[in-house]
Amino acid sequence: MPAPVVVVHDEIGTLDLALNALQAAGHEVVGFADPLAALDAIDAGSLTSVLVTRIEFRPGKLNGVALARMVSFRRPDIKVAFIGLLADRRHVERSGDFLPMPLDPDALVQTVRRLLTTPV
């Protein structure tokens, strides 16, 4: 069952950094390298409040913007934060918060904390 915070990133180092930072801050978090596996897990559970996803995944994978739209369609209460290159920021400005690469773990924790405490 998914946790309140779901992180989806296919670079294992970034995924581990995000998971460790959020766990150290006291958040219940689960991570996925595959966006479709994350979507299935979110669909199966009801606890997820925040989705943190990479904007662009490797070729042949669902991108983070599409993942966020699919999740938001099914669960409009879930808030989204995107991790990506500054050049890709314009693609997500209206869809959620943006965190630049390389990922700053403190900025991630602050963003997730704010998203969890902001009313829908």
For residue 19, being part of any structural domain is answered with no
Q: What is the pTM of this model?
A: 0.95
Number of domains into which the chain is organized:
1
The pLDDT mean for the chain works out to: 94
For residue 97, being part of any structural domain is answered with yes
Task: Walk across the sheet containing 79-84 and list its strands.
Answer: 29-32, 5-8, 50-54, 79-84, 97-100
Domain carrying residue 66: 27-112
For residue 34, being part of any structural domain is answered with yes
Which pLDDT value is given to residue 52? Answer: 98
For residue 74, being part of any structural domain is answered with yes
* CATH assignment at residue 69: 3.40.50.2300
> Could you read off the pLDDT of 102-112 as tens digits, one per residue?
999 999 999 99
- Cα–Cα dist 90/29, whole Å: 27
Which pLDDT value is given to residue 93? Answer: 87
Q: Does 23 have pLDDT greater than 60?
A: yes
